[in-house]
């Protein structure tokens, strides 16, 4: 408060404020963020909590003024940033429709013209003359969204608040948003739902600690976000380069056996670090046995960012017998379809001899970055699958088909 009053006083005296300089216990909520959204485009904002997504929307809506740089918005802005923003709790729903419409730049005549459509869309007819302080959170959302999308905005700002509404209302909301897009309305949406972002945006900005970490297609941006989350869980405080360097960490238990390196390969046997869900994958373990070792077993365990086991493969469990090792060689684990979703995974390697005595162990044998592409779902792994669909020929008018 002291800093704010100081800056306002200096501005009133036509003196420059110090708002562009960090002071004690301050940090930049947004730094070096710059992007342009074209007319009719749908832009998504994603990132962890506190990364600055809602701050961007408030800057675009004129609630905040930037300390450095400028914000240019052409056209009328409709915003649904916070539940109940612009509502007076003591006023009724009817009165708040006029109040909120005025805040969004609508005249009383325009509100009168669209009043019935707003009430019908909000589905609160029985509570129209009830003070909004008695409304549930869902009713707040419905009324606020209804007013925002009926003010004929050129730019619509939507925060995560749509997650509060029921399923049928959310469907109605996104149907209305698509209608606005057909009318060439620009909209910017903040959401943690990957499916919502992928299905409803043309381009996505990934924010990380107030800075732009990535800008691109919805699929690529979401994969980058999921990868960054996994990376932070796997190696807190590390960046991608440091993760790659950490592969040198290994432990040789027996003096007569050593793992030289672990290499990740694609279907063409080329070394790679990034793979897509569902594509061929191989991990080649190169070793040196300084004396003959009989009946060894190789095991590879995949751990996710939460240190949970996703998969374990052991040669002896799979019925693969290696009679002996001597000199240099390699053992390769292969799959035609990598089943892991987007994220960073750690490979744990163990090698034992025929008596189960440990020869080598590497808790960080390798790190694999998986990009899910357009595959977003719940769960730990992707199951290869197909669908059979049978339709009633008499009722539908077509023969059964399979896809």
- Range with lowest mean pLDDT among 62-76, 190-204, 337-351, 380-394: 380-394
pLDDT of residue 205: 93
253-371 CATH choice from 3.30.465.10, 3.90.76.10, 2.70.50.60, 3.40.1410.10: 2.70.50.60
d(CA 212, CA 369): 21
Asked if residues 362 and 349 have their Cβ atoms less than 8 Å apart, the reply is yes
Of the candidates 79, 106, 95, the residue with the CA atom closest to the CA atom of residue 162? 79
> How confident is the model over 317-344, as a mean pLDDT?
89
Reading the block at residue 162, the tokens are 């749509």
Which range, 133-137, 306-310, 334-338, has the best average confidence (pLDDT)? 334-338
Domain 32-216: CATH superfamily is P-loop containing nucleotide triphosphate hydrolases (3.40.50.300)
Reading the block at residue 252, the tokens are 């040789």
What band does 356 get if pLDDT is binned at 50, 70 and 90? Answer: confident
Of the candidates 55, 59, 45, 39, the residue with the CA atom closest to the CA atom of residue 212? 45
3-class SS of residue 287: strand
pLDDT of residue 301: 92
Of the candidates 190, 239, 199, the residue with the CA atom closest to the CA atom of residue 217? 199
pLDDT tens-digit profile of 283-317? 999 999 999 999 999 999 998 877 788 889 999 88
Q: pLDDT higher for 297 or 391?
A: 297
> How confident is the model over 28-51, as a mean pLDDT?
89
The predicted model scores a pTM of 0.62
> How confident is the model over 360-380, as a mean pLDDT?
75
pLDDT tens-digit profile of 209-252? 889 998 988 878 887 887 677 666 554 444 443 333 334 445 55
What band does 375 get if pLDDT is binned at 50, 70 and 90? Answer: low
How many secondary structure helices (H) and strands (E) does the chain include?
10, 17
CA distance readout (Å), 313 to 262, 332, 348: 15, 11, 11
pLDDT of residue 394: 52
Reading the block at residue 139, the tokens are 């009713």
Average pLDDT in the chain? 81
* Domain residue limits, the chain: 32-216, 253-371
């Amino acid at each position: 408060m002291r800093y704010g009053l100081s800056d306002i006083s200096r501005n009133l005296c036509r003196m420059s404020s110090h708002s562009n300089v960090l002071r004690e216990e301050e940090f930049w909520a947004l730094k070096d963020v710059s992007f342009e959204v074209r007319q009719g485009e749908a832009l998504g904002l994603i990132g962890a909590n506190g990364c600055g997504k809602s701050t961007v929307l408030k800057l675009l809506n004129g609630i905040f003024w930037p300390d450095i740089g400028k914000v240019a918005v052409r056209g009328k802005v409709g915003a649904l940033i916070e539940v109940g923003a612009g509502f007076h709790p003591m006023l009724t729903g009817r009165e708040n429709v006029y109040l909120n419409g005025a805040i969004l730049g609508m005249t009383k005549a325009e509100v009168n013209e669209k009043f019935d459509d707003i009430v019908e869309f909000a589905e609160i007819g029985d509570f129209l003359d009830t003070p909004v302080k008695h409304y549930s959170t869902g009713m707040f959302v419905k009324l606020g969204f209804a007013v925002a999308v009926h003010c004929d905005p050129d730019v619509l700002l939507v925060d995560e608040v749509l997650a509060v509404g029921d399923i049928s209302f959310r469907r109605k909301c996104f149907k209305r948003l698509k209608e606005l897009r057909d009318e060439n309305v620009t909209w910017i949406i903040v959401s943690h739902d990957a499916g919502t972002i992928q299905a409803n945006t043309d381009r996505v900005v990934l924010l990380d600690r107030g800075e732009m970490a990535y800008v691109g297609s919805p699929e690529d941006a979401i994969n980058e976000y999921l990868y960054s989350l996994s990376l932070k869980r796997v190696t807190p405080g590390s960046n991608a380069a440091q993760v790659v360097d950490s592969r040198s960490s290994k432990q040789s238990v027996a003096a007569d056996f050593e793992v030289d390196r672990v290499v990740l390969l694609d279907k063409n046997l080329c070394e790679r670090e990034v793979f897509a869900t569902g594509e061929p994958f191989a991990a080649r373990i190169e070793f040196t046995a300084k004396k003959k070792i009989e009946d060894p077993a190789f095991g590879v365990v995949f751990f996710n960012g939460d240190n949970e086991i996703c998969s374990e493969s052991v040669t002896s469990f799979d019925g693969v017998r290696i009679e002996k090792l001597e000199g240099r060689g390699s053992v390769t684990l292969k799959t035609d379809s990598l089943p892991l979703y987007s994220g960073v995974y750690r490979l744990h390697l163990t090698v034992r001899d025929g008596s189960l005595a440990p020869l080598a162990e590497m808790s960080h044998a390798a790190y694999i970055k998986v990009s899910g592409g357009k595959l977003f779902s719940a769960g730990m792994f992707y199951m290869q699958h197909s669908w059979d669909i049978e339709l009633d020929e008499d009722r539908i008018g077509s023969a059964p088909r399979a896809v």
